[in-house]
Structure 1
Amino acid sequence: MSVLREIVMGSGLVSVLAVVAALVLGGLLIASTDERVGRTVGYLFARPTDFLSAFWKAATGSYAALFQGAVFNPREGFAPLLETLTVSTPLICAGLGVALAFRAGLFNIGAQGQIIIGGTLAAYAGFAWHLPAGLHLLLVIVLGVAGGAVWGGLVGYLKARTGAHEVILTIMFNYVALYLLDFLLNTSAFQRPGETNPISPRLDETAVYPALSGSRLHLGFLAAILLTVAVWWILNRSTVGFEFRAVGANPDAARTAGVDVGRATVLVMALAGALAGAAGVAQVAGTEKVLTTGVAASYGFDAITVALLGRSTPWGTFAAGLLFGAFRAGAVQMQIQTGTPIDIVLVVQSLIVLFIAAPPLVRSLFGLGRGARKRAAQAREGADQPATATTTGGNA
């Protein structure tokens, strides 16, 4: 747990440098597998500038295409940015759930299952019940958030009552949620009439988030912003948030101070599940508008990286969610324009996780902390000198 605390509560500069290091290594990997670079290796010593030019163009060209697919390109303007915000919405919501649990000292691996349960309940309310506009969407949101909260709260309850580890519980709950969804989508209550594939009917128009700017971006992104503000307020301005942080810092000390650790555990996991459930709502009522077995994609697992990169702070998680959304949105354009496989984005994301999990490695790569270590060594030497002098005087 001390390692997790160091990763979560470390410097934000380390997170930024982890991204930089991952992008640099990713660029080297892209360039090393490029055909043009391979051709110039044959006459590297005769004309090294050809090799260096091809190497540079391969790396920067891929990242330029990624930027154009995620933020701006001359043909579509800022339309790619709207897609990035769309993809970022479930990442931000689920990431906030993981980050909130981290701040209470809990490792929530269950965002995937919480997204599935929240999305399943939200979708059912959206296609099975036909209600007036406004009320219908509100019911979809409430059921989705409540489903995620119950799924996460069950983990908190079992941990508080039995001492079972939340990592094992959430992993098992992920499998239960996944296979439960697979079962439901093959029943008449959830399967679209006339279909043999596991897909639900389309949600009613009254049950989906309104679209923004004529794109796939929907009001769920504004909900993600509001949730970020709410989590910030809970952690920094509320009594219950203080209890969460106290339990995360030292549960024994928090218990001695009068904090009900079991209650805090159940509550924080329920809130974490509710946030992940909001991600499920964003998927079914915002982006997809149907329920399938891939409703959660890999958002629940990517949310762990998002929370770690954001140092489990609400706004840091928000920014990390935007970054990973940009990776997802721009990867297709990168492959189309440069031929770079989409999998390189997964490699970069994995490298980010590696560097975040090893802060000393990042500090050593960028030369951070050398001055502090030198001053500490000088202080230790200064502390040893009087003791040596005293010992010498005593022997004389």
Structure 2
Amino acid sequence: MALDTDTPLNSLGFAKPPAETRVVVAMSGGVDSSVVAAQLAEEGYDVVGVTLQLYDHGAALAKKGACCAGIDIHDARRVAEEMGFPHYVLDYENIFKDAVIDEFADSYLAGATPVPCIRCNERVKFKDLLETARDLEADCMATGHYIQRKMGANGPELHCAADANRDQSYFLFSTTPEQLSYLRFPLGHLPSKAATRELAAKYGLAVADKPDSQDICFVPNGDYASVIEKLRPGAAEPGEIVHADGRVLGTHEGVIHYTIGQRRGLGIGGLSEPLYVVKLDVDTRRVIVGPKEMLATRIVPVREINWLGDAPFDSRPEWHVSVKVRSTRPPREAIIRPTSATTADVELLTPEEGVSPGQACVFYESDGSRILGGGWIWKG
């Protein structure tokens, strides 16, 4: 059906009044998604709030202040009541365990350093929840992520947030073009988190001063190893800490206690040189350590690539882009050489330290804010 060209587009991009535009807002109970819901409700949209309960908030894995459990569900429901729109809580505990938590545990035991927040967006929020939004006959789904959706010559494009300190593009690289056509990110243009809190105060939301959630939602205090031990009892087996030159320097209580690039807490004091974890050999249960220069990586094999560029990914022998190999690092110049439609070798023009299997490698325009997709780093 053709758009009515006489009707101006509303703020969500539809040629009809806000009151006739239904939008499902994914509400975690935090200030960001609460502001999105409140703002759209004030603008007159037909807002439906949905919160996912991702795990039993009384279980040992959960923690106070994490999203999608306990007090956060209560906070999301309270915002909906204050702003006068319906709110639903969906039990996604089994889906979350199967799609996110189990893979996190297995990846960690395999010597990788997984990023479960990306898998949650990919497999739960932007898949099952998005389908729920369609079932509710919503025109679109909005979230509180700090990222921008802009219309380009070939359709919607994914761009970094205006506030580089809040940008969440690293965690959203796997958003597909089809999903992007349905999603909206109303906070992406804001200059700072302070601006979001000002809006929360303006709407009189009780969560205006609520602290940001920290760490992974189901990992208390960032202690990955203790969570893995609960999920996979007895899976952590002791082994040797070995220097790259073959010397046995000590023993460990399980590979899960170590990550690539780690220096502190190795338990091998008394050495003349600082040593870092340079490899985790799960098969032999060995933690390989060596000098810092051994961490430098130039060629990064990447698979499960989601490509958001205009031309097909494998239509060129190489792409000159910028990439992030960790969420906390700035993009660096790189050359992507596709080996198939979903795999590639990424050459970092300046070698990076601590590149780890299980992390994401996210692609950006070299001279712009557009996200071109990304993939998962693997051992090769």
Query: Shorter-chain TM-score: which interval?
Result: under 0.3
Give the structure with the larger helix fraction: 1
Q: TM-score, normalised by structure 1?
A: 0.22
Q: TM-score, normalised by structure 2?
A: 0.22
Higher relative contact order structure (alpha carbons within 8 Å, sequence separation ≥ 6): 1
Whose Rg is larger? 1
Would you tell me which structure has more strand in proportion to its own residues?
2
